[in-house]
């Protein structure tokens, strides 16, 4: 008997993309397929095109990624019985399915180019995209893909846990893997997994999303709580549920990362008659979302780096409840956190600071070296030999010095400043209000941690 409710999905253009007049580079596709013996199989796929000048057709690439993935799944289901051993299906998720997907995707993007050629020659790079895929059968469910998508499992009691994310050693920080890479099929295996279904298991939901959702949250805990809220309801795919989910995603992007946002939700329930009950609300609503950081992906070699373009940010608090098939209703409250730089929003100093944040976050690998070159400034500020106020006021002349001064960790009055192993306190860290990327904040923390507290004797 089928344990799966028809999945629901939505993909929305990010707030930053709408402001810039750019199309949505995400895609989602949810469909019910059939196994060799006619068993229903639910499939959901999400994809995130890289964007940027070099990947100018990535919105097409993400759509074709979802379409070719579902076609490849249907081909695999038609070739073998679901009653076969799980070991064979596990290999299929790791090897055979990825090979079929990449082959089909390359053929699809080449055909699209032939139908609508642009300037220069054809390159798969133009269509670069990630792909996350979940296959849900009566006996097992599995996942595979590549790139920076996330998969969360939400239990019947509302508890959520992250099952899949891109490994840092693979992604190298602000980077991601892509279907346009020559050996893309070989990269699926590390994201593949098969999970047998226990007939007596409690209900649960699967939330598959592109990185715009997680980037909109200040912490992983907030992300998991947000995923649990999205998973509430019976999850049936109908126009009302789809409209509610789309509205929720628009709000997440507008008040979060500004990136495109895409989610697909599948529900497993124990057969026994009657519709699946809604999941209970999670124990705590998300506390905050991250400041906006609209991404401009710029994949290079393997793996592909993803560069973010910071914008003026704010720490935000969120109270959620979703209506219809994805929960009750959505209520949001967004208190602003002001920047510590003493400048009016349009002042040259603040504009220079924002430009400096954008420059640094655009090349995250170079941030540690740039900060080490300012070691003497870190030492002087830490030892109290330099006043941070004039440096912040002179941001137009030396924006990096102003950023370092604004990030000086606070100590209680009258307390000697010791080594600074603790990071600048969150969520009121001033640089968050300037949209500083995680790479910049972490590099600053490391530099403060190695800065001597007092002159050597």
Sign of the C-alpha dihedral computed for residues 175, 181, 182 and 186 taken in this order = positive
Query: Whose structure tokens read 């137009």?
Result: 396
Residue that finishes a domain, picked among 271, 299, 333: 333
28 plus 135 within the same structural domain? yes
- Tell whether the model's pLDDT for residue 313 goes beyond 50: no
Residue 277's pLDDT band (cuts 50, 70, 90): low
Residue that finishes a domain, picked among 333, 358, 380: 333
Most confident of 278-287, 331-340, 446-455: 446-455
174 plus 199 within the same structural domain? yes
Name every residue whose Cβ is closer than 8 Å to that of residue 236 and which is 6 or more positions away in sequence: 5, 6, 8, 275, 325
- 133-167 burial code (b ≥16 CB/10 A, e <16): bbbbbbbbbbbbbbbbbbbbbbbbebebeebbbbe
Query: Percent of the chain scored above 70 by pLDDT?
Result: 71
- Report the C-alpha gap between 151 and 149 in whole angstroms: 7
pLDDT tens figures, 380-408: 888 888 888 888 888 888 889 989 988 88
Residue that finishes a domain, picked among 300, 333, 366: 333
Range scoring the smallest mean pLDDT among 23-27, 111-115, 301-305: 301-305
392 plus 244 within the same structural domain? no
Answer whether residue 156 is part of any domain.
yes
More confident residue, 216 or 429: 216
Residue 175's pLDDT band (cuts 50, 70, 90): low
Query: Percent of the chain scored above 90 by pLDDT?
Result: 33
- Tell whether the model's pLDDT for residue 131 goes beyond 80: yes
Residue 173's pLDDT band (cuts 50, 70, 90): very low
Domain CATH code at residue 216:
3.60.40.10
- Check: CB of residue 189 under 8 Å from CB of residue 98: yes
- Tell whether the model's pLDDT for residue 70 goes beyond 90: yes
Answer whether residue 340 is part of any domain.
no
- Tell whether the model's pLDDT for residue 326 goes beyond 50: no
What is the average per-residue pLDDT within 120-143?
93
Residue 339's pLDDT band (cuts 50, 70, 90): very low
324 plus 357 within the same structural domain? no
328 plus 402 within the same structural domain? no
Most confident of 69-83, 248-262, 365-379: 69-83
Look at residue 395 in the predicted model and tell me its pLDDT.
84
Look at residue 404 in the predicted model and tell me its pLDDT.
92
What is the average per-residue pLDDT within 179-199?
91
329 plus 398 within the same structural domain? no
What is the average per-residue pLDDT within 418-424?
43
Q: What's the pTM? A: 0.63
- Tell whether the model's pLDDT for residue 439 goes beyond 60: yes
327 plus 352 within the same structural domain? no
Answer whether residue 35 is part of any domain.
yes
What is the average per-residue pLDDT within 416-441?
60
Q: Would you state the torsion angle of the CA atoms of residues 384, 390, 394, 395, taken in this order, to the nearest 10 degrees?
A: 50
- Check: CB of residue 46 under 8 Å from CB of residue 62: no
Q: Count H helices, E strands: the chain?
A: 14, 15
Mean pLDDT taken over the chain: 76
Residue 210's pLDDT band (cuts 50, 70, 90): very high
Answer whether residue 456 is part of any domain.
no
Answer whether residue 317 is part of any domain.
yes
319 plus 364 within the same structural domain? no
More confident residue, 433 or 46: 46
Residue 206's pLDDT band (cuts 50, 70, 90): very high
- Tell whether the model's pLDDT for residue 321 goes beyond 50: no
What is the average per-residue pLDDT within 319-334?
28
What is the average per-residue pLDDT within 224-233?
83
Answer whether residue 84 is part of any domain.
yes
Triad 187, 189, 194: Cα angle to 5° = 150
* C-alpha distances in Å from residue 97, one per residue of 142, 188, 435: 12, 9, 39
- Check: CB of residue 232 under 8 Å from CB of residue 327: yes
Host domain of residue 440? 348-449
What is the average per-residue pLDDT within 226-241?
67
328 plus 353 within the same structural domain? no
- Tell whether the model's pLDDT for residue 79 goes beyond 70: yes
- Number of domains the chain is built from: 2
286 plus 388 within the same structural domain? no
- Report the C-alpha gap between 242 and 88 in whole angstroms: 35
pLDDT tens figures, 92-101: 999 999 999 9
More confident residue, 230 or 305: 230
Look at residue 52 in the predicted model and tell me its pLDDT.
82
What is the average per-residue pLDDT within 80-93?
90
The H-or-E segment that residue 33 falls in is strand 26-34
Answer whether residue 342 is part of any domain.
no
108 plus 188 within the same structural domain? yes
pLDDT tens figures, 24-62: 999 999 999 999 889 999 999 999 999 888 888 999 999
* C-alpha distances in Å from residue 180, one per residue of 55, 67, 183, 187: 10, 16, 9, 12
β partners of residue 295: 308
The gap between the terminal CA atoms of the chain, to the nearest Å, is 76
416 plus 272 within the same structural domain? no
Answer whether residue 339 is part of any domain.
no
């Amino acid at each position: 008997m089928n344990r799966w409710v028809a999945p629901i999905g939505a993909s929305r253009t990010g707030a930053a993309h709408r402001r810039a007049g750019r199309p949505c580079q995400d895609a989602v596709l949810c469909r019910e397929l059939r196994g060799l013996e006619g068993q229903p199989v639910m499939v959901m796929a999400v994809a995130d095109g890289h964007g940027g000048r070099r990947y100018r057709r990535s919105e097409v690439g993400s759509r074709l990624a979802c379409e070719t993935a579902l076609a490849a799944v249907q081909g695999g289901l038609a070739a073998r019985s679901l009653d076969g051993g799980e070991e064979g299906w596990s290999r299929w998720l790791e090897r055979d399915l990825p090979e079929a997907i990449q082959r089909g995707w390359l053929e699809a993007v080449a055909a699209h180019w032939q139908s609508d050629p642009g300037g220069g020659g054809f390159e798969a790079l133009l269509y670069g995209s990630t792909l996350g895929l979940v296959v849900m059968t009566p006996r097992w469910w599995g996942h595979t893909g590549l790139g920076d998508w996330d998969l969360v499992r939400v239990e019947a009691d509302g508890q959520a846990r992250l099952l899949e994310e891109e490994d840092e050693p693979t992604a190298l920080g602000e980077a991601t893997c892509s279907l346009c890479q020559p050996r893309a099929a070989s990269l699926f295996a590390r994201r593949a997994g098969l999970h047998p279904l226990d007939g007596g298991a409690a209900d649960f939901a699967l939330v598959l999303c592109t990185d715009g959702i997680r980037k909109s949250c200040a912490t992983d805990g907030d992300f998991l709580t947000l995923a649990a809220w999205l998973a509430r309801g019976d999850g049936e795919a109908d126009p009302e549920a789809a409209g509610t989910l789309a509205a929720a995603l628009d709000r997440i992007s507008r008040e979060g990362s500004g990136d495109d946002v895409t989610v697909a939700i599948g529900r497993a329930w124990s057969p026994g008659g009657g519709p699946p009950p809604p999941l209970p609300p999670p124990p705590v609503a998300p506390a905050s979302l991250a400041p906006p950081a609209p991404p401009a992906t710029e994949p290079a070699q393997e793996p592909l780096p993803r560069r973010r373009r910071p914008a003026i940010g704010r720490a935000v608090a969120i109270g959620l409840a979703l209506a219809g098939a994805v929960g009750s209703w959505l209520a949001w409250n967004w208190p602003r956190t002001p920047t510590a730089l003493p400048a009016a929003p349009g002042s040259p100093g603040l504009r220079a600071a924002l430009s400096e944040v954008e420059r640094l976050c655009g090349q995250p690998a170079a941030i540690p070296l740039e900060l080490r070159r300012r070691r003497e400034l870190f030492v002087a500020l830490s030892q109290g030999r330099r006043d941070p106020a004039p440096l912040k006021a002179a941001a137009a002349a030396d924006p990096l010095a102003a950023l370092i001064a604004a990030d000086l960790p606070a100590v209680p009055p009258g307390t000697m400043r010791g080594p600074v192993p603790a990071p600048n306190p969150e969520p009121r860290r001033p640089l968050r209000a300037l949209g500083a990327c995680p790479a910049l904040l972490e590099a600053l923390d490391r530099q403060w941690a190695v800065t001597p507290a007092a002159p050597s004797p």
